[in-house]
Structure 1
């Protein structure tokens, strides 16, 4: 019997900033597990997840904020990012200063977010 080789793929939620995860989902049928590793360190440790844990990880990643920089942001430090993908899972739009990604986050109800965008457009800001 030949051991099945993992076929690694990079998660679609990985980014170019180095937060890259690879998984080998082809092993679910033969081994009942999903190996996960850091794509920057393919020879490093591998985390072995059950299929249920893998599904939970994917669901968590889908609920994580995906930050988008405002088209009105400039290179002079006036930068705002919003995570509108949280409306479905949390009922909010989160907003932060892109210069301070670990700083405070303002969470707005969708109607408050729409009002803020409307105000900014009308005010030309």
Structure 2
């Protein structure tokens, strides 16, 4: 089974985005830089990922 990395449908084709996977053994959610796919990735729990997404939806990030 592959790791199933994927980008958001909102991501542009310029590769400046992150990818996530929920298919790595013993890891809830893995997040990596799409420009550097061979570098280490960040692992978070499903609960932490859900809270992060909820916060983004409630109060969108502005740069």
Secondary structure, aligned partner of 1:90? coil
Q: Which has the higher helix share?
A: 1
**Structure 1 residues 119 and 74: alpha-carbon distance in aligned structure 2, compared to 1, 3 A threshold:** farther
2:39 matched residue in structure 1: 103
Gaps of 5+ in 2: none
Gaps of 5+ in 1: 1-61
Number of residue pairs matched? 61
Name the CA distance, whole Å, in 2 between partners of 1:72 and 1:80. Answer: 11
Name the CA distance, whole Å, in 2 between partners of 1:72 and 1:117. Answer: 14
Root mean square deviation of aligned Cα: 2.0
* Aligned pairs for 1:36-47 within 5 A: none
Decide whether the 8 Å contact of 1:92 with 1:110 is kept in 2: yes
* CA offsets 1:69-104 (integer angstroms, 9 cap, x no match): 122322344311000123xx4141000011110122
Decide whether the 8 Å contact of 1:91 with 1:110 is kept in 2: no
TM-score (norm: length of structure 1):
0.41
Q: Flag the structure with more relative contact order, 1 or 2, with Cα contacts below 8 A and sequence separation at least 6.
A: 2
